[in-house]
Structure 1
Amino acid sequence: MAGRPRDDRARNAILRRAADIASKDGLEGLSIGRLAADLGVSKSGLFGHFGSKEELQLATVRAAAGVYLDEVVQPALALPPGLGRVWRLCDSWLSYSQRRVFPGGCFFFTVTAEFDARPGRVRDAVAAAALEWSRLVTRTVEEARRLGELTEDTGADQLAFELIAFLETANAVSLLHDDPVAYQRARTAIRNRLHAAATGSAALPGLDSALQSGHQ
């Protein structure tokens, strides 16, 4: 039992390095040999942690989801439901991508493109993570609508789809063209879309405040 915390720390370090690699080279870019060389440990030691490449891939997806939760989701959930939380969810995502928490931008953007047409356990894990994220954005939008901060006819599914599209486009453009302005364009697009859906002037100052704090 005394060695367990050290084993956990070692495993976490391995998975964090694996997630960094996968964010750039995909989950197929992972191998026990590559990780062992990067981390300066034995292949047999790494194999003992995971047993197979697929298990390594699945563990890496879970580890990346934990980082995503800390970087994107928890900051938004710290705010009360409403338009401010919708904004924070989007802004936290943009910050996570822009700061290169993972060196290849959004980990899940990369691995979704890699596995979207490849059946199997890894695809299922990636798809489940993407669905959970989409449902969270949708639920957050729906909460704002029910609170009267978005117009009654706002379709939560549709608005969530649009917001996620803005986020993913910023990530893709910034990576492909080395263009940091893409993040500002996404923030502007999201602000305009939320302003258009907000109910009356009473809700807008709160959104403007959230937007201001997001740029500081």
Structure 2
Amino acid sequence: MSKGEQTKTAILGEASELASRVGLGGLTIGTLASAASLSKSGLYAHFMSKESLQVEVLRYARDLFTDNVLRPAVKAPRGEPRLRAVFEHWLAWQTSRFGGGCIFVNAASEYDDQEGPVRDELVRAERDKQESIALVIRTAVAEGHFDPDVDPALVAYELEGILLSHHYARRLMRDPRADEHARRAFERLLERCRRRSA
């Protein structure tokens, strides 16, 4: 990685943390320059516009999610153990990755009805995540851990619902039992998915 790429990666790390606190819409070249003690002109050389910066931050965060949630989970055995690893890594992502909470959850409420490249990137990241999780669930079916009638897309949807509920319970409600409730809901989801003995 060149020095310029290293600098840009460091800037994106700072920008993602800032976006988690002020919202993706609040992330501008000016606010980033101020927070990172960098010149606006230097940041313009990297990003050219606020929109370009926001799209790059989402790509950076998507890569972080992959590196911190999906890739480590692949080390677990195929099937249910791997889905359990995805859940645990995702829960850890939500509780420790960004000071202001999950950047994707925050951005979704900002950009759900704003057409354009930022929303397109957010949708792309969400689809990729859902497809990756559905693949893990299909593998659990193929391994015989889950019932053949399980709908992988629906289970991925339900899993995201548990983690969204956890995000709100933990961050908005400051519920000390948020992690416990998320884990109990996940165990119930697994129980419904498991292959029934004949």
Q: TM-score range by the shorter chain?
A: over 0.9
State the AA in 2 paired with 1:19: S
Q: 1:50 aligns with which of 47, 50, 54?
A: 47
Question: In structure 1, what is the equivalent of residue 152 of structure 2?
Answer: 156
Q: 2:5 aligns with which of 8, 12, 17?
A: 8
Secondary structure of 2:25's aligned partner:
helix
Secondary structure of 2:120's aligned partner:
helix
In structure 2, C-alpha distance between the alignment counterparts of 1:194 and 1:15, rounded to whole Å? 36
TM-score (norm 2): 0.94
Question: In structure 2, what is the equivalent of residue 144 of structure 1?
Answer: 140
In structure 2, C-alpha distance between the alignment counterparts of 1:59 and 1:152, rounded to whole Å? 39
Moved over 6 A (4+): none
Identity %: 33
Pick the structure with more helix per residue: 1
In structure 2, C-alpha distance between the alignment counterparts of 1:189 and 1:49, rounded to whole Å? 43
In structure 2, C-alpha distance between the alignment counterparts of 1:79 and 1:58, rounded to whole Å? 32
Structure 1's 150 and 120: CA in aligned 2 closer, same or farther, altered over 3 A?
Answer: same
Which segments of 5 or more consecutive residues in structure 2 lack a partner in the other structure? Answer: none
The number of equivalent residue pairs is 197
Question: How far did residue 24 of structure 1 move?
Answer: 2.4
Q: Deviations over 1:3-31 (max 9, x none)?
A: x7222222111111111111122211111
Question: In structure 2, what is the equivalent of residue 84 of structure 1?
Answer: 81
TM-score (norm 1): 0.87
Question: How far did residue 200 of structure 1 move?
Answer: 5.0
Question: How far did residue 197 of structure 1 move?
Answer: 2.0
Q: 2:102 aligns with which of 106, 115, 123?
A: 106
Which segments of 5 or more consecutive residues in structure 1 lack a partner in the other structure? Answer: 202-216
